Copies of this chain bind each other. A is one copy, B any other.
Amino acid sequence: MDFAGRDIVSTEDLNKEDILHVLDVSAKMEEMVEKERISTLLADKMVAIIFLEPSTRTMLSFVTAANRLSAKVIQVAGAKSSSAAKGESLSDTARTVEGYVDCIVIRQSQIGGARVVADAVDVPVINAGDGSSQHPTQALLDMYTMQKEIGTVEGLTIGMVGDLKFGRTVHSLSYALSHFNPTYHYCSPKELSMPDKIVSDMKDRGIDVKISNSMEDALKADIIYMTRIQRERFDDPAAYEKLKGSYVLTRDILKKAKKDVLIMHPLPRVDEIATDVDELPNAAYFRQAHNGVYLRMALLALVLDRA
């Protein structure tokens, strides 16, 4: 459970104690922000936040986290760095940036790219999303949200709805939460179902997994975790149009759910949650996004040995 200098590449590297510790430190960060707004905890540290694949929300969340701890930030935001465009390898880029900073946060599109970076450098690396593979900080902020909203992450039933094939958040979350006796309802069109590997990994861990094409099962859960279905995933536009209506959460459909079911979404939302759902007290998705700042503050402080 010593995080100093550690890389955060995949939720599979984190055991139960690790995760609980991260959630605990996140809560302390949130308290600190409430009281002091800005802390000087990392005032002598520099952090590189490198987004070779764009993601406004995750990038701003990390930059906010670093700023609230007074770390100095150097930032790359672009489809590709100019070095990559000139043919530089990811590990060469990493070895250069390593000389500038105390920690590297990286998002890029190559599956396994975060591990390449982590292996190339001595400073700690935080994976902010690599292709359709892993997005560990999203899974952890999801769990922090559950902890805050429900009071525990133990023994929860979760309906994950939408694109379970390409949605890396539901992959990372499945693994991260697997230490806490969950029940999973995977609900998706069959073109976008959860990869077999993940389903069998979950069953191997003794988790009760239900798989379905309809939202009915998911509605029985403690938490409905909605995800966006991307038109581009379908060869046939008509198939997309036909399907997408079945995976939209409305106030009407919610009548079949538990009264206080927690509604989550990694955002951005397109139309898979009707906007009149937003005002329900159990619609947690904007709070969930805001929680990302505390969780990322916790990770930065932990890997830099200041938590």
* Interface set of A (CB-CB < 8 Å, partner B): 36-38, 43-46, 48, 54-57, 60-61, 63-64, 67-68, 72-74, 76-78, 81-83, 85-88, 92-93, 95-97, 99-101, 228, 267-270, 286-287, 289-290, 293
Contact = CB atoms under 8 A, between A and B. Distances in A.
B48 A60 contact: yes
Contact of A83 (B57, B76, B86): B57
Contacts of A56: 76, 81-83, 93
Nearest to A38: B44
Contact of A60 (B86, B88, B97, B269): B97
B83 A72 contact: no
Given A97-B60, A101-B64, A88 B44 contact: no
Contacts of A48: 60
Nearest to A102: B37
A268 B87 contact: yes
Given A57-B96, A67-B74, 6 more contacts: A56-B93, A64-B100, A67-B73, A92-B269, A93-B268, A99-B293
Chain A at the B interface: mostly helix, strand, loop or mixed?
mixed
Nearest to A72: B67
A72 B43 CA distance: 13
Contact of A286 (B43, B55, B95, B270): B95
A67 to B, nearest CB: 4
25 contacts: A37-B44, A38-B72, A54-B78, A54-B82, A54-B85, A56-B81, A56-B82, A56-B93, A60-B100, A64-B74, A64-B100, A64-B101, A67-B73, A68-B72, A86-B268, A86-B270, A87-B270, A92-B268, A95-B286, A96-B286, A96-B289, A99-B286, A99-B287, A99-B289, A99-B290
Contacts of A76: 56, 60
Contacts of A88: 267-270
Contacts of A268: 83, 86-88, 92-93
A60 B78 CA distance: 14
A86 B266 CA distance: 13
Given A72-B67, A268-B88, A269-B88, A82 B55 contact: yes
A267 B60 contact: no
